[in-house]
Structure 1
Amino acid sequence: MGTVFMHNVVSVDGFIADRNDDVGPLHDWYFNGDTRITGGGDQQYDHSGAGSAFKVSKASAQYVRSMWESIGTIVKGRRLFDLVNGWEGHPPTGDHVVVVSHRPKPEGWHPEASYHFVDDVAAAIDKAQKLAGGRAISVNAGEVGGQILAAGLVDEVAMDVVPVVFGSGKRYFGSIDGQHLLEDPYVVIQGEGVLHLRFRVRR
Structure 2
Amino acid sequence: MSHRPRPEGRHPEASYRFVDDVTRAIAKAKEPAEERTVAVAAGDMGGPAFALGLVDEVATDEVPVALGTGTRHFGATDAHHVPEDPHVVVRGDRVPHLLYRVRR
Question: TM-score, length-normalised on structure 2?
Answer: 0.83
Displacement of 1:107 after TM fit? Answer: 6.6
Contact 2:52 / 2:79 at 8 angstroms: preserved in 1? no
- Residue 195 of structure 1 is matched in structure 2 by 96
Judging by fraction of residues, say which structure has more helix.
1
5 Å-filtered alignment, 1:1-203, equals 100-106=1-7, 109-203=10-104
**Structure 1 CA distance for aligned equivalents of residues 71 and 45 of structure 2:** 12
**Structure 1 CA distance for aligned equivalents of residues 67 and 75 of structure 2:** 15
Displacement of 1:106 after TM fit? Answer: 4.4
Q: Tell me, which stretches of 5 or more residues in structure 2 are unaligned?
A: none
Contact 1:150 / 1:176 at 8 angstroms: preserved in 2? yes
Aligned length: 104
Displacement of 1:101 after TM fit? Answer: 2.8
Q: Give the match's secondary structure for 1:196.
A: strand
> Residues 115 and 165 from structure 1, CA distance in 2 versus in 1: closer, same or farther, beyond 3 angstroms?
farther
Read off the aligned partner of 1:122 and give its amino acid letter: T
> Residues 165 and 130 from structure 1, CA distance in 2 versus in 1: closer, same or farther, beyond 3 angstroms?
same
> Residues 119 and 108 from structure 1, CA distance in 2 versus in 1: closer, same or farther, beyond 3 angstroms?
farther
Q: Tell me, which stretches of 5 or more residues in structure 1 are unaligned?
A: 1-99
> Where does structure 1 differ by over 2 angstroms across 4 or more consecutive aligned residues?
101-110, 112-117, 168-171, 174-180
Contact 1:146 / 1:174 at 8 angstroms: preserved in 2? yes
Contact 1:182 / 1:201 at 8 angstroms: preserved in 2? yes
Q: Write out per-residue CA displacement over residues 26-80 of structure 1, whole angstroms, 9 at most, x where no aligned residue.
A: xxxxxxxxxxxxxxxxxxxxxxxxxxxxxxxxxxxxxxxxxxxxxxxxxxxxxxx
